[in-house]
Chain A
Amino acid sequence: MKQIVGVADMKVSNKTEESIVTYSLGSCIGLVIYDPVVKVGGILHYMLPESSIDTEKAAARPYMFADSGIPRLFKTAYALGAVKQRMMIYVAGGAEILDQGGFFNIGKRNYMALKKLFFKNNVIIHKQDVGGNTNRTVRLEIATGEIYVKTSGAKEVKICHPFDCL
C-alpha cells in the first residue's frame, strides 16, 4: 500500500507492506528517515524554513516548517521503536530557480534550516540530492529501506539502500 505525503505533511510507518511517497519537491524539502533494525521509516515534506514567520500558521500546520516539522517526524518514529543512532537520513529537494540569489533562495534556506537543526542535535545526513533546477518525487519502501527518486520526465531510480547509506 502506498502512503502519500502531501505538501506540508508527514507520514511514518512500520508496516512492511507499505511504501511512503511524496510528490513534486521543488524548493521544498523531503526528509526521509529510516531505522533498518525495527523497519520504521517516514517522510516529511516541508515548505519553509522557520515557523517564527507565522506562529499561528505553524500551530495549525506544523509540517509546513522545518523547525516545527522535523522534531515531530523523529518523535513519531521514536514512538514506533526507532532509535536516533540507527537512523538512516536522506534529504531531497531544495531546488532553485535560475539566478535566484541567496536572499530569495527559498530552496537553500530550507536546506540550511535542516542543517542547522541537525548540527545542533548531532544528526548526520547519509545521502542527499539537493539543489539544482529539477523537481523530485521520493519514495521509501518500509520493508527494505530502499529509497527511489524520480525527476519529471525521467524514470525513477534507486538511490539508496540502508546498508549502502549507513
Chain B
Amino acid sequence: MSSLRLLMKEIQNLKPIPAVVTQLLAAVDSPGSSMEDIANVIQYDPVITASLLKTCNCAYFGLKVPAESIKDAVNMLGIDQVTELALIKSGAQALSGRHQGYGLEQGDMWQYSVSSAMITKIVAAKLGLKNKSTLFTSALIKDIGKIVLEKHVADASEKITHLVKNKKHSFQEAEKKVLGIDHAELGAMIAKLWKFSPRMIKIIRHHHLADESRVSDKEIAAVYLGDCICMMMGSGVGADGLAYRFKDQAMKTLGVTATDILMMIAEFGMNMQKVDAFLHMA
C-alpha cells in the first residue's frame, strides 16, 4: 500500500473531535441563534458540560456563586467565553497526547494549540474580523494533521532534518518532498472527513500560506499570523521549531505593522494565566 493510501486509511481510524464543535459553530454563526440555543447545543454533550462547569468554577474566573448549569455559566461569563471554553474542551482529547515524531512531549501540542487559538483571537479582534469562533477553532485544530503524520515524520526524520538544515527547506516543504503530503494538507483532509465547514477546511489547508495566492484571504492571513506569533513565543513548539516561512506580504494584506505584532505579543503575555486555566481543563 502506498504511503498516501496508508495515511488515508489512518485518518479514517482517528477518533473524531466531538460533534458538538460543528453544531456549536453552526449555532454561533447563525444570526438567528439565541444564547439559549447555543447553551442547549453545549449541554447536549454531558462530558463537555461537566468539564466546562469545572473550569468555569476554577479560581481564575472568580465566580462568587458556582455555575451549576451551562445557562448559569452563560449568564455569569457571557456567551463568547462559554463558547470558547466548549470549543477548547472539544479539542482537548484529540490534541493532548505525546507526538514524538515532532519532538512533542505530553501536552505540548495542546499547549501550542490553545496558545495559538488565544493569539488568533487577539489578531482577529485587532483586525475587527467577524467569524471569531471559526477562526478560534481553526487555529485550535490546524495542526491535527501532525497527529497522523508524526509516525511518518519520525521514520523519515533524517531526510526531513537534512532538507531543513542543509537545503533551506521549511519543515512543511520537507514533509511534502519526503512524504508526498504535508501536515496542513492532511489536516484539511481530516477536517473534511469530520465535516467541518469548507471555510475551516480552507483555513487549515493554508495555515502556513505555502500557496502565496491565499494571502488575500484575511481570515487565512489572520490564522497564519496567529501561528507565526505563537511559534515566536515558543510554548509547545516541537522539533520543527520555527522552520516555517514568514511572509511580509501577509502583514501588508492585513495592514499589520511590527509595532502591532509587539502589542499583540504583549496582550498575549497578559493572558498567560488564562491559557494556564484552559490547559488545566480536565
Q: A19 at interface (Cβ–Cβ under 8 A)? A: no
The answer to whether B245 touches A97 (Cβ under 8 A) is: yes
Min CB gap B138→A, angstroms: 20
Instruction: Indicate if A145 sits at the interface (CB-CB under 8 A).
Output: no
Interface string of B254-275 (1 = CB under 8 A from A): 0000110111011101101000
Contact of B241 among A6, A60, A64, A133 (CB under 8 A): A133
A6/B247 in contact, CB under 8 A:
no
A interface SS class: loop
A1-42 contacts to B, CB under 8 A, are 6-8, 23-28
| Complex contacts, A133 vs chain B, CB 8 Å | 164, 241-243
B181 close to chain A: CB less than 8 A: no
In the docked arrangement, what's the CA distance between A101 and B252, Å?
13
The answer to whether the Cβ of A163 comes within 8 Å of any Cβ in the partner chain is no
- Known contacts A57-B266, A104-B251, A153-B103; is-contact A97 B232 (Cβ 8 Å): yes
Within the assembled complex, what's the spacing in Å between the Cα atoms of A97 and B229? 10
Whether the Cβ atoms of A61 and B269 lie closer than 8 Å is: yes
**Contact of B269 with A104 in the complex, beta carbons under 8 Å:** no
List the B side residues contacting A96 at CB < 8 Å. 242, 246
With A28-B234, A47-B265, A48-B265 as given contacts, are A104 and B242 in contact (CB-CB < 8 Å)? no
A54 at interface (Cβ–Cβ under 8 A)? yes
User: Closest Cβ of chain B: how far from A158's Cβ, in Å?
Assistant: 20
Cβ contact of B238, chosen from A27, A95, A106, A153, cutoff 8 A: A153
- Nearest CB on A from B125, distance (A): 16
For chain A, which range describes its interface: under 10, 10 to 19, 20 to 34, or 35 or more residues? 35 or more
Asked if residues B233 and A26 are in contact (CB atoms below 8 Å), the reply is: yes
Residues in chain A near residue B8, CB distance under 8 A: none
Residues 227-245 of chain B, each 1 if its beta carbon lies under 8 Å from chain A, else 0: 0100111111111011111
Cβ of B243 to closest chain A Cβ, rounded Å: 4
Number of interface residues of B (CB under 8 A): 38
Across chains A and B, the number of contacting residue pairs, with CB separation under 8 Å, is 119
Q: Are A47 and B270 in contact (CB under 8 A)?
A: no
Q: A79 in the interface, Cβ–Cβ < 8 Å?
A: no
The verdict on B116 contacting chain A, using a C-beta distance below 8 Å, is no
Q: Which residue of B lies closest to A97 (CB)?
A: B246
Q: How distant is B271 from chain A, measured CB to nearest CB, in Å?
A: 11
Whether B170 sits at the interface, judged by CB under 8 Å, is yes
Let me know if B237 and A135 touch, CB within 8 A.
yes
Task: List chain B residues, Cβ under 8 A from A104.
Answer: 246, 248, 251, 258, 261
Question: Quick check: B272 and A106 within 8 Å, CB to CB?
Answer: no
Q: In the complex, which residues of chain A have a beta carbon less than 8 angstroms from the beta carbon of B100? A: 153
Chain B nearest CB: distance from A26 CB in Å?
3
Q: B interface vs A, CB < 8 Å?
A: 100, 102-104, 108, 164, 168, 170, 228, 231-239, 241-248, 251, 258-259, 261-263, 265-267, 269-270, 272
Q: Which 6 A-B pairs have the closest CB atoms?
A: A153-B103, A26-B234, A153-B239, A27-B232, A24-B234, A100-B246
Q: List 10 A-B contacts (CB under 8 A).
A: A8-B269, A47-B233, A95-B232, A99-B245, A101-B246, A104-B251, A135-B242, A152-B102, A152-B239, A153-B103
